[in-house]
A and B are shown apart, each in its own frame.
Chain A
Amino acid sequence: MRPGRLAAMGLTFGLVGLASYFAVVFLVPWLPTVRNHAGPNWLLIVAGLLLSLAAVMRATAGHRFVPAALLGVNLTIAGVFATILYVVPVVPPATGPALGTAAPDFTLADQTGKPVRSSDFRGSPLLLVFYRGHW
């Protein structure tokens, strides 16, 4: 395959790998494992990098600038993706409440202003979800 086409395919893979992750997170509610691990997205991005590298290696002297630049773009995409996945969302360690202990009582206002007590839930299991908020 000609280096130009390899380079274009490589960049396309990288862009699709990155963009599809956000499509899954924001548009599609039924792929929670992709959201957690981004496996398919990394496969696309790495494939894109390999194609870009192949393009650079196939290019003849004097024609390496564009494939090299596109490889650089793909490396940037991989770096941005890694930062978004593994650097930005890192939070301090915490263990939450101890298993087997009594869950602390609470009385808090719900979205209508009505007070809700932890005792209201006794008799059924309760999934208490803590959100970061600041939407």
Chain B
Amino acid sequence: MNDIKGRGAAIAGVVVDPVATNAELAHDAGLAFPLLADPDLGVIDAYGLRHVAGGHGGVDIALSASVLIDADGIVRWVFVTRNFRVRPTPDDVLAAIDALPRAH
């Protein structure tokens, strides 16, 4: 994470859980970035990442995914797989950041 921030990139998480749940998690996990609540899945839908009935009790949640947005707000790299155990490695993320075009 320090490597990511060291490259001048910000990190933010998006999750369907409400602010109160995120506050507890962020505190317990010592999160160093904002965790954004999207309970009606508006943003999750805008990014095409809804997982219908993926949560406990058949609730819709987000697919596990990472989206790298450049300094101008353009989507440059997306990591989403068919298996939520497979995640991008730190090297995957850093390589994507290093491949970004310079901001205008």
Contacts and interface: CB of A to CB of B under 8 A. Distances in A.
Contacts of A101: 74-75
Given A101-B75, A110-B35, A118-B73, A123 B103 contact: yes
Given A94-B63, A128-B67, A134-B61, A109 B17 contact: no
Given A89-B85, A132-B63, A103 B69 contact: yes
Interface of A: 32-33, 35-36, 85-86, 89-104, 106, 108-113, 116, 118, 121-135
Contact of A85 (B7, B16, B48, B85): B85
Contacts of A108: 14, 36-38, 43
B67 A103 contact: yes
A91 B75 contact: no
Contact of A129 (B14, B55, B90): B14
A99 to B, nearest CB: 6
A132 B64 contact: yes
A32 B87 contact: yes
Contacts of A98: 75
Given A104-B46, A129-B67, 12 more contacts: A86-B83, A91-B54, A91-B82, A91-B84, A93-B82, A94-B80, A108-B14, A122-B72, A125-B70, A127-B12, A127-B67, A130-B67
